[in-house]
Amino acid sequence: QVQLVESGGGLVQAGGSLRLSCVASGRTFTAYAMGWFRQAPGKERESVAHINWSGGSTRYADSVKGRFTISRDNAKNTVYLQMNSLTPEDTAVYYCAARLAHSIATMDEYKYWGQGTQVTVSA
């Protein structure tokens, strides 16, 4: 089993940037594909970005393409989400999740979740 702890959230003005980090502990980090998800108040949780075990394959939601970048440092057991050109619509709790497999999958395939970090973008 893997434990996940997110950090890096906060309050930022529209147009600004934040970098989220998620540190994993427990089993071998490279056994997991990783994803970032978010949930805004009153809305369902949605996929933001995914990365496979090596970092060689990524996938993004259309709403964040060209603005967000997911990456991972397997030596540090950490996955990142660089968020640029933020808008108020990006305001949400952001969750890191892990899937015990090498490849990217849909949200329901991710079984291990962090506690979330709040991102608030002011207009």
Is the torsion defined by CA of 115, 35, 80, 78 positive or negative? Answer: positive
Place of tokens 């540090």: 76
Query: Nearest Cα to 27, choosing from 55, 54, 1, 53?
Result: 1
Confidence of residue 107 (pLDDT cuts 50, 70, 90): confident
Indicate if the pLDDT at residue 75 is higher than 90. yes
Q: How confident is the model at residue 1 (pLDDT cuts 50, 70, 90)?
A: confident
Tell me what pLDDT residue 105 has.
86
How many other C-beta atoms lie within 10 A of the C-beta of residue 76?
A: 12
Q: What is the DSSP letter of 64?
A: T
